[in-house]
Amino acid sequence: MQPPVAKRVPVERSHHGDTFVDEYEWLRDKESPEVIAYLEAENAYTEAMLADQAQLREDIFNEIKLRTKETDLTVPVRIGQYWYYSRTIEGQQYARHCRCSIASDDDWTPPKLDAEEATAGEEVVLDSNVLAEGQPYFSLGAFSVSADGRMLAFSTDIKGDERYTLRFKDLNSGEILADHIEDIAPGATWAADDLHVFYETVDESWRPDSVWRHRLGTPKDQDVRVFHEPDERFWVSITATRSEKYLMIFAHTKVTSEGWILESDDPTGDFRVILPRREGIEYSAVHAVIGGVDSLVITHNENAENFEVVVAPVDDPTNRRTVIEHRLDTRIEGVSAFRGHLALSYRREALPRVGIMRLTENGIGELSEIDFGLELFTAGVSLNPEWTQPRLRVSVTSFITPARVYDYDVITGDLVLLKEQSVLGGFSSDDYVERRDWATAEDGTRVPISIVARKGTPHPAPTLLYGYGSYESSIDPYFSVPRLSMLDRGMVFVVAHIRGGGEIGRHWYDNGKMLAKKNTFTDFVACGRHLIDSGVASRLVASGGSAGGLLMGAVANLAPDLFAGIVADVPFVDPLTTILDPSLPLTVIEWDEWGNPLADPEVYAYMKSYSPYENVEAKDYPAILVLTSLNDTRVLYVEPAKWIARLRALSTGDKPILLKTEMSAGHGGVSGRYDQWKDVAFEFAWIIRTAGAQSAD
């Protein structure tokens, strides 16, 4: 079967004296029947080319089902006078959100509920399966209950374009109110009066730029815009403090932030600035009562690359004193405040950790780190909505440890296991191994890699190398049921913790962005070569998504001979075209990550030198599988569509280059859990076959 051939329509793009001829820009018009026909032809070609993998896909899907407890529930979380939790039911795509009453005001031990049967007095707050009925896509955004427990604000997206509709449900009567607000960001924040709700709207570039106040029972045209951020580099958010005493608005770029605060019992009042914005200074703030004084706990990076923590009175945020000093070996990521303690999230030695600082009448106690007894792990603060709770809900996982949820007693230091993710089918963590290794980058920098395999897997082995390396996002140890299907077929799974991520602190990010972005790509190649040279890998398949898809496109050009195959999910492979156009979604916000090629010729030349699309050339490329979604607003489908067309036109090799487009989904792909499992099975079957792993048990 011959692949679809995209027609060529030359379009010139000129900047800074340089002209690039783009022959496939016509694919940008998704309203064009010709474009849709082309994408559908690509889907048909991909399906035909991979028809022989159908049985393997079915096997993997069934393995995921076999290992998953399909009828299950989450650990109940207390909010006000109720325990809230979600149920998943075998055969249903989405969760059912429920609640039951607390036994008493001092009831902080979550009830033991039956996953198979509804508990006595259980209320179904919202059933996503009902809301999703008849829709090709469904995403629940806001799920916010008023303080009195009566009203639910919830938002839904039925296209995948991240434009949500906000609605309200009276939980006493079950009635959906007439109020509805369309085309907004997903969140919703209640004021203390349980009558006013704040939400965010986005501009034409999908940037959250405004905060609005809505009064229940009034039409949308009476809503009041309480905040607008005109600077296109900033995006806006609003939250309530855990104490419910204050509302906070924050405007952020990737390097600068500014916050405003308002008493929540005065929702029609005026927000006042916390600390005025200064270019290059980031900060966040939470409310705590310290020594009887309403205070702000502020995390900031002024003269503190890895951030430090200070406290100041709410009435005088400039009157600060330091409680956690800056450290080169510890990146502070955030603080959660409660009536009796602070919970600190931070990373050290490339691992995320949690520590506790008790609040006393005299101030703040020493930091005490929670020990989970694991060597390679991800620890984090879990759902903790209540200000007065005496215990901290925390979670921990690793590549071979299913997710565990604990209650941590702040006074005694005891950890009480509430739930471990159920993995059926005879799974045992003892059958798998995980370890940390280090590769050496081109410039001599040591790059951490995480290696996961089934015990007894002979080496060298077929290996999947995953990477991201952007936005200071860290790919920390995480458990995956679907991944077991690869490991059990003799594959090794590896994460390259490359620069541009945040695993080793802010400098790790700074040295993989802007005019240092190529470090991300060369680090990944170095990790791949290390796996071959050290005898871990026989054949390599690379995988990455979104900005990690940019990584995939770059390494395909840099080292096509290193990889047997490359999987690129919703890949950002035409970055220069996108970042040059301020009218496209999120472009201006992105200038702090990549630079501004529109204004700076040096940035333009640097981006052009690594842009996957511009740098496709006549060479033998490995097998490539590209996955995208038609309604993606973060990385438009046109980027991978153009890239595939150019690869096919120029590649001198005979390896298949395939494109699969979800026609009713967004950046995260399809929405229902069974549909997601089918997509994972599709991708993993291709990886297993391409890597040369065994395709049957």
Residues marked active site are found at 546, 632, 667
Burial of 197 (0-12, 13-18, 19+ CB in 10 A): buried
338 is written with which tokens?
């409660």
Q: Which of 379, 297, 380 is nearest to 338 (CA)?
A: 297
Give the Cα separation of 581 and 545 in Å (integer): 22
3-state secondary structure at position 589: helix
Using alpha carbons only, give the angle 18, 20, 24 rounded to the nearest 5 degrees.
165
Burial of 642 (0-12, 13-18, 19+ CB in 10 A): buried
CB 567 within 8 A of CB 576: no
Using alpha carbons only, give the angle 22, 524, 531 rounded to the nearest 5 degrees.
135
3-state secondary structure at position 133: coil
Q: Which of 120, 137, 139, 125 is nearest to 168 (CA)?
A: 125
Give the Cα separation of 287 and 336 in Å (integer): 9
162 is written with which tokens?
């991240």
Q: Which of 68, 71, 70, 100 is nearest to 85 (CA)?
A: 100
Give the Cα separation of 210 and 198 in Å (integer): 10
488 is written with which tokens?
């059990």
Give the Cα separation of 27 and 35 in Å (integer): 6
CB 15 within 8 A of CB 597: yes
Give 636's contacts (C-beta < 8 A, 6+ positions apart).
28, 578, 584, 585
Residue bearing tokens 């205070």: 295
Give the Cα separation of 547 and 551 in Å (integer): 7
Query: Following CA atoms 230, 234, 235, 237 in sequence, which dihedral angle do they give, to the nearest 10 degrees?
Result: -90
Cα dihedral 304, 309, 314, 320 sign? negative
* CA 63 to each of CA 56, 427, 431, 478, 485: distance values in angstroms, whole numbers, following the listed order: 10, 12, 17, 19, 7
Give the Cα separation of 43 and 640 in Å (integer): 13
Cα dihedral 551, 555, 556, 558 sign? positive
Give 477's contacts (C-beta < 8 A, 6+ positions apart).
351, 376, 377, 378, 397, 398, 399, 434, 450
Q: Which amino acid is located at 394 in the chain?
A: V
